[in-house]
Structure 1
Amino acid sequence: MVSSRTWKELGVFGGLIVAMHVAYYTIQNNPSLVAPHQRSELFYVCFNFYGFNFYLYYLVNWPEYYQVAEHPNGQIMGYIMGKAEGRDENWHGHVTALSVAPDYRRLGLAARMMHTLEHISEMKKAYFVDLFVRVSNHIAISMYKALGYVVYREIIDYYSGPRDENAYDMRKAMSMDKEKKSVIPLPHPVHSNDI
């Protein structure tokens, strides 16, 4: 049976971030442990966007928004991290990162972790949950739509790199937003500098 534990259960400094940090460098030094394409897919979000300290900051400030899916043998199958932010009717939960190891995809783990994050956001009386996703990530977009998320707006050049890419800001209204105002799509894209 797959277990799923929150960061509070794992302990703030003994949780997934530290384990992934150690695992990342262990795998870098022993490449035969994980196939290269799997290694990059699992760890890309954690170490190529912001760095370890950024994620540790999230962990310390919003531990309830962290969850790890763990196989009975102790192997990490996936994780989700997020936060609560905003004010008044813009108070919301935010999905910062969601990743499932390639061998454990299509098992419903991502949906289960998203539901947990949504439940925590409901308990905090959030009006909606949002996330950003690359416009080219059709698989993720389809999954989020199946979970009830809508494209609220397109953000121009949100992702930078060799080729800048736009993002969708996808949202799902929570019960606090009785009129579903938070998910009424904007009629035009916005630039990343304007968010």
Structure 2
Amino acid sequence: MSVIRPFDPTDILRFNNINADPWTATYHNGYYASYTAQWPDWCVAVEGAYDPKLKAYMISKHEPPAPDPQHHGHLTALSIAPSHRSLGLARVLMDILERLSGPREMPVPCDDDHEAHAHEHQAAPNGAARDSVDAWFVDLFVRCNNGRAISMYEKMGYSVYRRVVDYYNGMEGGEWQADYPA
């Protein structure tokens, strides 16, 4: 069992078991702190329900500011500890990103005659969230030689948009950018 919670800047002191992987890009401490300050809802960590050790994390954002026609959700980092791969955690984290990036929830009409709403209304059927940013798409970058990640994202509906040479500072294989309509 796992618990998904907001990513805390102190998590960078606890994620070596996740980042000790040749596929994971590790950034400087200020980078993670900047993301959690600017996009706190877009940065999450996964830990064991009975074990505080981190199992996975996702750092993401939305850019440029709406109503720019290129406004989109962006996955900066999604990394899962080797012991917790192939359990569906990546899909769960991507669902969070896609939901945050997607269309805003439309208000559900209420026929009840009362002053204060002390009950929950059914969510919009399309899975939209109140805190969604109404982005046009979600994008991410993957090393071209990381076939397992590329296959996983393609199964989630992402497709190659373009290849950016030397995005990962000379790492072999260049880079693969994927897009998914929000």
Q: Same fold (TM over 0.5)?
A: yes
Indicate the residue corresponding to 1:58 in structure 2. Answer: 35
Whole-angstrom CA distance in 2 between matches of 1:53 and 1:101? 22
Whole-angstrom CA distance in 1 between matches of 2:92 and 2:177? 21
Mapped pair 1:143 → 2:152: yes
Amino acid at match of 1:168: W
Mapped pair 1:71 → 2:80: no
- 1:42 Cα deviation after fit: 8.9
SS of the equivalent of 2:157 reads coil
158 and 64 in structure 1: CA distance in 2 versus 1, 3 angstrom threshold: same
The 5 A counterparts of 1:21-170 are 21=13, 23=14, 40-41=20-21, 44-46=24-26, 50-72=27-49, 73-86=51-64, 88-122=68-102, 123-161=132-170, 163=171, 165-170=173-178
Segments of 5+ residues of structure 1 without an aligned counterpart are 8-14, 28-33, 175-195
143 and 82 in structure 1: CA distance in 2 versus 1, 3 angstrom threshold: same
2 and 42 in structure 1: CA distance in 2 versus 1, 3 angstrom threshold: farther
Q: TM-score, normalised by structure 2?
A: 0.75
Whole-angstrom CA distance in 1 between matches of 2:43 and 2:21? 19
SS of the equivalent of 2:152 reads helix
- 1:98 Cα deviation after fit: 0.5
Whole-angstrom CA distance in 2 between matches of 1:93 and 1:146? 19
Greater helix share, structure number: 1
Q: How many residues align?
A: 150
* Deviating 4+ runs (over 4 angstroms): none
Amino acid at match of 1:167: E
Checking the alignment, whether the CA contact within 8 Å between 1:42 and 1:99 is kept in structure 2 is: no
Checking the alignment, whether the CA contact within 8 Å between 1:82 and 1:95 is kept in structure 2 is: yes
Q: TM-score, normalised by structure 1?
A: 0.70
Percent identity over the alignment is 35
